[in-house]
Structure 1
Amino acid sequence: MKTLLRPFLSLILTGSLFALSNKTHAQALYTITGLVTDAHTGEPVPFASVALVGRRVGTLSDENGRYALTIKNLTDSLAVSSLGYLTLRHAIDKERMTQAIDFKLSPGGNALQEVIVRAGENPAFRVLRQVRKNRLLNDRSRLSAYECDSYVKTEIALSHVSEKMRRNPLIRRINEAMSQQDSLLDDEGHRLLPMLASESVSRYYSRSNPQRLREEIRKTRIKGVAVDDAGLSSQLLGGTGLVNQNFYNNYIPILGKDFASPTGDNWKNWYEFFLADTTQIGDRICYEIQFDPKRPEDLAFVGKVWIDTLSFALCQIEAHIGSGANLNYVRRLTIEQELEPTLDSASGSSTTTGWLPVSLRLMADLVGVGKQSLGMRAQVTLHNSNILVNRPRPVGFYDQPIELSDTVATTNDRYWNMVQRELAGTDSLNHNDRKARQLIDSLRQIPVVRTAEAIDEVAVTGFYKLGGVELGPYPYLFAYNSVEGLRTRLGFRTNDRFSRSWILRGYVAYGTLDHRFKYGAEIDYLLSRRHWTLLGGRMSSDLERLGLTPELIGGNRMFYALSRFGRYRGAYQRVQREVFFMTEPVKGILITTTLGSRSFQPLFPFQYRVEPDLGDQSPLRSTIMDMYWSIEARLARKEKYVMDGNDRITLGTKRAPVLTIRYTRGARTLGSDYSYSRITLRAQQMLRLGPLGQMTYLLAAGYTPSTLPAPLLFPHVGNPTPLLTINTFNRMQFYEFVSDRFVAIHIQHKFEGLLFNRLPGIRKLNWRLVANADALWGSETRANRAVETFKPMPDGLKPIHIGSLNGRIPYVELGYGIDNIFKIFRIQGIHRLTYLGAGSNGLPIDKFVVKGSASFSF
């Protein structure tokens, strides 16, 4: 989710620095009048529905068949429908402020299927039961495969700027520079500031067994503020991923939440229904059913669904997120879909098989935190055409989930003219779209905007871009701790502007207290993007903390940066060198082999027995030299990712765990102090449980049969800081326990609004209940405990003791708390339930602590 939203977060951050005056300027209104009559008799048709296509704006004809419609913004056509007549559409001339359009309706001759209504039962229930009964015939997931051409148009603009923000000096400078430009208004009369306008054309492929997806992005044209990388933006904004919701499923994933579907298995538990009427859509007669959530605060929709009376297939749906739903930053969100039956391409017959969406539209109005925040409007429109079904491609065809054409961003006006005629139709760039592109060009010429773009690039990515080289990341720039004093670090990395094959990274750091330079450098060569094959080498000399290396905390950049502040217990100097080879021979299986060395030179009192069989007569040593090789396999089924220059960014897996297994072998023949074997396993996954919320788990295990000093075993990751960090033991001290075999599980459950939505008063706060459970089973063999010594150091200091666990008694933490306080903060209490005696440092253990964190989520 985070990486997927990178361009959008960039736009929001840019918008936080400037916005456009939001005064509602006077705008001329469009007026459409006309007469609705029966095509055969010429008699007026009273109370006919007259509406703009694609908008919930309309009126009814009067008893004489006349209508009048006054609106601020037009769509491309007007539609008229009435019971017993075929729906009729007529194009609108957008250049005329006043026009007259008459309609002559033809009677409809389709016969409806019989609907048996049981006494006392809502008549909509029978229709919905038939929808579920016929799902296996109509749901597109029953198709063995399908492919289609997809046209996607994405528009993003800032809106709803408060009076307080308009007084900001930066905003005034923007307003002055843009004052001569034409205005764009939304359907509520708010002035818009366009931030992004894009069009994309791709060929989309889907296969059911095994489940595979592939998207070939053929052409993209993008204009946007803080959007320079057409390749990355094409992958995030193109295709059907943003608006391809399947309402036959029980839950619809939107913005990381699961919304109950009005046509899912549990429709009766979530919604109230009203069978409004039958109406004609195209050449089909449909039941029109309105739906509303039973409880406004639930994650459910408000809207209408149209069901084909013959096949009971979902023909069209218009769904809005209810205003009372427990959802952050969303003022309004609408999903519209039109579906049509497809013909079996494999058999070549006229047999109808499955319904696919041919037109989709998603519109969202987002707001920030607080009443004085600005808003953002995003709209995505998609059209599918040239559909082929039940012609699965070979499994290997889907190995590259997203592939960009070599000419994806090159200009080709003839191509886009063809797209307008054959794919996009009336949804291709209209007058307002062209005006938005002109405004974006003008906006990017304003100096303060260019400055804002540079600032939010740093804020979002952590790096400052200078052509082919990027400086950063900024969270590591400064730190202050008891060993280094003030630590200053400068780093860089190269991007694809520097080279499409060579990748360089490096940093240098210096501490004012220890007066030592630290450094790190890495050079990689990208052999294949298709199979993600890298050959590289790295080396570093830096200060680390026992049990808190980057490898152990799983790339949690912010936690690692904050851990360098304050009292730096367990510090040691590490010099590490590695060469590695990484490849993905089969989609979803990443293999990495590594040959390396590392040294351990403690800066705290520590020593161990070199020959533990001799007991107290054994020689003692503090440093360790480790030479090793390893092989790792990472299995991630259904993982989606995008290419960002020379980086591959994962978008996560779809309801499938990520499994990692690693074998490491230390070898004296390579110069190591010890020969040993080690195996580690990890499994992590997010489980969406519908109304019960979301659960994430991390299962980790490790085993080494060798006799080794504690730093080469498994130090468990504690977190005594005030910052709540998942997948650590938040009541455990740094290097409090070490094991040579262990199993650990971290479980976090977000109840969303399941409980708090039912409590009067609290539900208005949109608080969400969270809970966690962390358990660790570990032990240390007698041989490994014998390596430890309590003999004083030469300077008289007592060496640090690292504790071990009783294999029969697990270490357990339980926590509970409140999330979404002011839409950002989380407060959680953590109970330590076992190992409550004095810790390894002799200090008493706190059984309970309250910690906090901050995060952005919908």
Structure 2
Amino acid sequence: MTLKKLLNISVLLTAFLAFSQSKVKGVVVDVDGNPLAFASVIFKNSTEGTVSDEDGVFYLSSPNTHKELQVSYVGFDKLTVGIEKQNQYFKIVLKESSNQLQTVTIVAGRIPKKGNPAIALLEKVWARKKSNGLKMFPNYEYEKYEKIQFDLNNIDSSFTEQKIFKGMEFVFDQIDTSRVSGKNFLPVYINESVYKVYGKNKENNEVVREDLVANKNSGIGAGEGVTTYIKDLYVDYNIYDDYIRLFGKSFTSPVGKSGVNTYNYVLADSANISGKWCYNIIYYPIRKNELTFKGDMWIADTVFAVKDINMQVSKSANLNWIKEVFLERDYKVENDSVILPEKDYMMADFSLRKKKSSMGVFGKRTTYFDSYSFNNPKKEDFYKKKSDVFADSIYNATETYWKTHRQETLDKNEQGIYTMLDTLKTVPKFKKIYNLGVILATGYVEFPNFDYGPVFSTFDYNDVEGVRIRVGGRTYFGINDMWRIQGYTAYGFKDRRVKYGLSYKYMFDKQKRLIFGIGHRDDVEQTGAGLTTSNDVLGRSFATSGLFSSGASNLLTDVQLTNVFFSAEPVDNINFELNFVQRNLKSASPAFSLSYIDDNGNIQNKTQQTELGFAIKYTPRRKVFGNGVERKNVNDNFPVFYLSYANGFGALFNSEFNYQKLQMYYKQPFYIGAIGRTTTTLEVGKTFGEASLALLNIVPGNQSFFNIQNTFGLLNYYEFVTDTYASLHFEHNFNGRVFGKIPFLRKLNLREIVGIKGAYGTISQSNINRNLPAFQSLPFLNLEAKTIAPSKIYYEYNVGIDNILKVFRLDFYWRGNYLHHPNANKFGVKGSFGFTF
């Protein structure tokens, strides 16, 4: 065959492939040119469709060939137009119908519920939601295929022709067009996983075991940071719940009962889908600036369950860094009584700007469910066992295996992505771009098997050390490292001292996560900046920094800390730890004293103490990434319960004090429907026996200009000292629920926060007598008024404005009592920076 014939065949094949799909876009308006929001746009004689946005704009794509487009809008005549070419642009003009419905029209405001056939249909769905799908079976099994992908989007010639990409032009051969938004995109990361899922339905709960069978990935970062990021955003959700949680926020579900107060529903069509008669309902939000969706759903007759649903986050929703979010869920009907999940698709368009033409990143997750089987009961212990995620077979699955178990065939671009990305990572210029991104995201500079950093801790300042320079790093071979060494050294130009910290951890049992650790730190720190005792040898409180302090940063402690521990996690999210801790503590500044009176009546300036301790940490619903000695949390909506006991041995290693210390920490975040998220933190503790000030419990103050978690914004350091305490912090973020209703504030996407904090505590007379030299030196302790501990509950409250310019939060604090204390702060303003959606 000649070269010319080959070229002709290639051109014909390309043309055939191009037209074996349909892509259209446009706008829907009335005869006066006013955009019609939430109009139904479908390919005629199909169920493939979309709903126009608030501006009447739509984009629709299908892998199948369609010749006609059908557009409808309640109160207007339905219109059908021919499709003549790919990416054809339509301006659809609809005329008002002469027999339009008087009570059901798609306009701003609320459609009456009474007599609405869509609401009547949804009521049948709500009545059946607890008895549909997998809940019908005592036990079940299925295979799950998941594909996660990151793509650069809105790539134009001004980007691809930049000098920085010279020598990397081959990358742009992989550009394709999104079927959801119509934007072009370039894949930069892909991960594929196959799971075997086993479930058991009990009377009031469901037990699920999920085994990873195969995994394959390539792209920027080899998956560590990217996978953490994407899994943190895309949590599992149930469309039948009242609220769907995405990006740390609660979106009102269009299928939940609460949707009737948030959405307008219109019964638009009916059709036979996969042999099942279904009804089409269009829904859209009644009000702007709320966390809502717009789209449509198909309800299967007889079973009265959702067959297919499309959900697109409203443009006016109070979200940062996100231009679009699209969710799609499909179910298959096995028979007249069984409907099961078949496909789940999620796509978010992340961008620094919401301008349509600005570049961004698509984050996509596609999940398929197949090979269902039922009535194959397992023993109770089966669901408690964990699969071996370290097995080599998981990460070395052959291409033949993937072709058999990949429930969605990779398209042309995805097939080439593994080769393209592996090649891209060898290009020097790209490696420089990637390394810069890693530094900004993690704070570390990557070298082979070693990370330098955190770079943001390199420079600091306080009144004791003066200018401080720090260098450090960690070993890093991968996310499943069995051991890790971390360390740092620092130097203060004022105190002319070298500080350091070094730790080593090794996991010698993968399944039960048995870990041995040892570490030592010799450094200067602001102690008393937290109630619950920390034994972290590399930790350093933000309060230690004087760069952002509203007062003197000279109440610092010279800390020498050695920690040896064994930990185990025999059950997911229940961690046990046994530790041996040795502390040497003394004042690092002449500004105050940590002196105490010993048993012989002598004043001692240094505390030397040895403890043997035991701790339990329970974190239900926590999800983690990685299986090595150190893991990352990929969600923050789980409760934390921590209980610790420490015994201070006076006769061991020259220790001075005999005491027992019991502490409990409990943090509970929870969502309150559509009005936001509340976080409560409770800390209680008691020290039985006598101890020096350095070992007692200081109610944590905050003298910086910034918010510090679990501290009191208007307390000075060492203003209250206790040996028995209780502390409660309450904060609620309304997520813009109030500001969103104020016209001149609505577009700023501000978010309201209210909070109150309280602390109660006592201290024994023996501990007061023991620590009198130290108490007399503390500048903020009111020794004369005998308010060393807050025996009358101390409290303060705050009102905050979050999301200022998308990155800044400003809080206004008021002090409730103890106004007579020396230099008491009655009012304060503090800020914080953060990246939130």
The alignment's TM-score, normalised by the length of structure 1, stands at 0.79
Change (3 A) 1:721 1:273: same
SS of alignment partner, residue 846 of structure 1: coil
Match status 1:146 vs 2:146: no
Q: Summarize deviations over 1:679-727 as a string: whole Å, max 9, x none.
A: 0001001101111200111100111131222221101211110112232
Matches within 5 A, 1:262-277: 262-277=254-269
Change (3 A) 1:565 1:71: closer
Contact 2:537 2:561 in 1 (8 A): no
* Residue in 2 that maps onto 1:520: 501
Choose from 561, 583, 593 the match for 1:598. Answer: 583
Within 2, Cα distance between the matches of 1:127 and 1:791?
73
Aligned length: 746
Contact 2:665 2:682 in 1 (8 A): yes
Q: Out of 701-710 and 173-182, give the one that drifted further.
A: 173-182
Change (3 A) 1:493 1:71: closer
Change (3 A) 1:557 1:631: closer
The Cα of 1:645 is off from its aligned counterpart by: 3.9
The Cα of 1:552 is off from its aligned counterpart by: 5.0
Match status 1:576 vs 2:579: no
Change (3 A) 1:128 1:805: farther
Q: Summarize deviations over 1:607-666 as a string: whole Å, max 9, x none.
A: 544258x9xxx3222211111111111122233222254312233476x53211111110
Choose from 658, 662, 680 the match for 2:644. Answer: 662
Choose from 606, 610, 620 the match for 1:637. Answer: 620
Change (3 A) 1:667 1:419: same
Choose from 198, 217, 225 the match for 1:205. Answer: 198
Matches within 5 A, 1:234-383: 242=234, 244-341=236-333, 352=337, 355-369=339-353, 374-383=359-368
The Cα of 1:319 is off from its aligned counterpart by: 1.1
Within 1, Cα distance between the matches of 2:704 and 2:216?
47
Match status 1:766 vs 2:752: no
Contact 2:323 2:350 in 1 (8 A): yes
Match status 1:133 vs 2:133: no
The Cα of 1:197 is off from its aligned counterpart by: 2.5
Change (3 A) 1:853 1:712: same
The Cα of 1:193 is off from its aligned counterpart by: 2.7
The Cα of 1:339 is off from its aligned counterpart by: 1.3
* Residue in 1 that maps onto 2:117: 123
Contact 1:641 1:648 in 2 (8 A): yes
Match status 1:456 vs 2:447: no
Choose from 65, 70, 75 the match for 2:63. Answer: 75
Contact 1:316 1:339 in 2 (8 A): yes
* Residue in 1 that maps onto 2:108: none
SS of alignment partner, residue 358 of structure 1: strand
The Cα of 1:161 is off from its aligned counterpart by: 5.8
* Residue in 1 that maps onto 2:427: 446
Within 1, Cα distance between the matches of 2:221 and 2:806?
25
SS of alignment partner, residue 797 of structure 2: strand
Within 2, Cα distance between the matches of 1:326 and 1:287?
31
Within 1, Cα distance between the matches of 2:388 and 2:836?
26
Change (3 A) 1:726 1:206: farther
Q: Summarize deviations over 1:798-847 as a string: whole Å, max 9, x none.
A: 565745455542111111121111111111111111111233xxxx2221
Match status 1:494 vs 2:494: no
Q: Which runs of 5+ in 1 are unaligned?
A: 1-26, 35-46, 59-69, 83-95, 99-117, 344-350
Contact 2:505 2:516 in 1 (8 A): yes
Within 2, Cα distance between the matches of 1:48 and 1:484?
68
* Residue in 2 that maps onto 1:21: none
Residue 276 of structure 1 aligns with an amino acid whose one-letter code is: A
Matches within 5 A, 1:422-433: 424=407, 427-433=408-414
Change (3 A) 1:520 1:288: same
Contact 2:503 2:538 in 1 (8 A): no
* Residue in 1 that maps onto 2:10: none
Structure with more contact order per residue of length (Cα contacts < 8 Å, sep ≥ 6): 1
Match status 1:223 vs 2:228: no
Contact 1:520 1:538 in 2 (8 A): yes
Match status 1:408 vs 2:394: yes
SS of alignment partner, residue 173 of structure 1: helix
Residue 323 of structure 2 aligns with an amino acid whose one-letter code is: R
Within 2, Cα distance between the matches of 1:370 and 1:260?
23
Q: Summarize deviations over 1:574-631 as a string: whole Å, max 9, x none.
A: 212221111123333211111121011212332544258x9xxx32222111111111
* Residue in 1 that maps onto 2:92: none
SS of alignment partner, residue 826 of structure 1: strand
Residue 582 of structure 1 aligns with an amino acid whose one-letter code is: S
Contact 2:716 2:780 in 1 (8 A): no
* Residue in 2 that maps onto 1:195: 188
SS of alignment partner, residue 368 of structure 1: coil
Within 2, Cα distance between the matches of 1:52 and 1:78?
9
Q: Out of 266-275 and 515-524, give the one that drifted further.
A: 515-524
| % identical equivalent positions | 24
SS of alignment partner, residue 266 of structure 1: helix
Within 2, Cα distance between the matches of 1:628 and 1:29?
72
Change (3 A) 1:536 1:853: same
Q: Out of 293-302 and 396-405, give the one that drifted further.
A: 396-405
Q: Which runs of 5+ in 2 are unaligned?
A: 1-14, 23-40, 53-57, 71-84, 88-111
Q: Summarize deviations over 1:221-244 as a string: whole Å, max 9, x none.
A: 322123355xx8778879x99474
Residue 215 of structure 1 aligns with an amino acid whose one-letter code is: E
Within 2, Cα distance between the matches of 1:33 and 1:799?
76
Contact 1:401 1:640 in 2 (8 A): no
Within 1, Cα distance between the matches of 2:631 and 2:771?
43
Q: Summarize deviations over 1:231-284 as a string: whole Å, max 9, x none.
A: x8778879x994742111111111211111112121211111111121111111
Q: Summarize deviations over 1:455-481 as a string: whole Å, max 9, x none.
A: 222322222232222222223222122
Change (3 A) 1:549 1:517: farther
Match status 1:788 vs 2:771: yes
* Residue in 2 that maps onto 1:174: 165
Match status 1:847 vs 2:826: yes
SS of alignment partner, residue 809 of structure 1: coil
Within 2, Cα distance between the matches of 1:513 and 1:51?
79
Within 1, Cα distance between the matches of 2:413 and 2:470?
48
The Cα of 1:787 is off from its aligned counterpart by: 2.0
The Cα of 1:854 is off from its aligned counterpart by: 1.3
Match status 1:397 vs 2:392: no
Within 2, Cα distance between the matches of 1:837 and 1:715?
19
Change (3 A) 1:608 1:129: same
Match status 1:856 vs 2:830: no
Contact 1:342 1:389 in 2 (8 A): no
Within 1, Cα distance between the matches of 2:774 and 2:521?
32
Change (3 A) 1:119 1:477: closer
Residue 508 of structure 2 aligns with an amino acid whose one-letter code is: L
